[in-house]
Amino acid sequence: QSAQRSRVRKLQYISELERSVNALQTEVSTLSPQVTFLDHQRVLLNVDNSALKQRIAALAQDKLFKDAHCEALKKEVSRLRQLYHEQQQHLQKEMHASSTGAYDLQQHQFGKLEQGSSSQMMDQKPEISDPSPSHLKTTSGIPDHRENNASHSHTTPGSQ
């Protein structure tokens, strides 16, 4: 009896194991295509991930290049602005100097003119001008009105 009970338990245990094996085989057959699909997806995702990493690296490199280029352009803009301001200041100084210089030159020339005319006036002795015309003067220096009348005589109608 005890041996028979032992055999029955053994058979139940074997039957239980067989059912468990069948259930597991069914589960494996169901999950196997899913595993294959997911494995294929994993490979595709790894390829995509690798491509994205390469793209990120390329974009990072491009960003570094563009940042450096942008920085160089900013420096160039700053340099050109500085140059422009220096040129504007230089131009303003030149314009101010030329306008001041022109004013100074005019003042200097006017000063020379005033100085020259006053020194010329001082150097020159005043001449007394004789109001009588020279053709009226005789050798004695006394005007002869007769000569004037004779030389300028006109005949008028009725005086003949």
| Extended strands (E) in 27-155 | none
Write down the mean pLDDT value for the chain. Answer: 79
Radius of gyration of the chain (CA): 64
Residue span of the structural domain in which 45 resides: 2-120
Asked, for residue 99, whether it belongs to a domain, the answer is: yes
- Read off the pTM: 0.44
Report the helix count and the strand count for the chain, using DSSP H and E. Answer: 2, 0
Asked, for residue 116, whether it belongs to a domain, the answer is: yes
Mean pLDDT of 72-85: 98
Mean pLDDT of 63-69: 98
Asked, for residue 41, whether it belongs to a domain, the answer is: yes
Tens digit of each residue's pLDDT (9 = 90 or more) over 18-57: 999 999 999 999 999 999 999 999 999 999 999 999 999 9
Least confident of 17-26, 94-103, 108-117, 150-159: 150-159
Specify the number of domains making up the chain: 1
Asked, for residue 43, whether it belongs to a domain, the answer is: yes
Checking if the pLDDT of 134 tops 60, the result is no
Asked, for residue 136, whether it belongs to a domain, the answer is: no
Asked, for residue 142, whether it belongs to a domain, the answer is: no
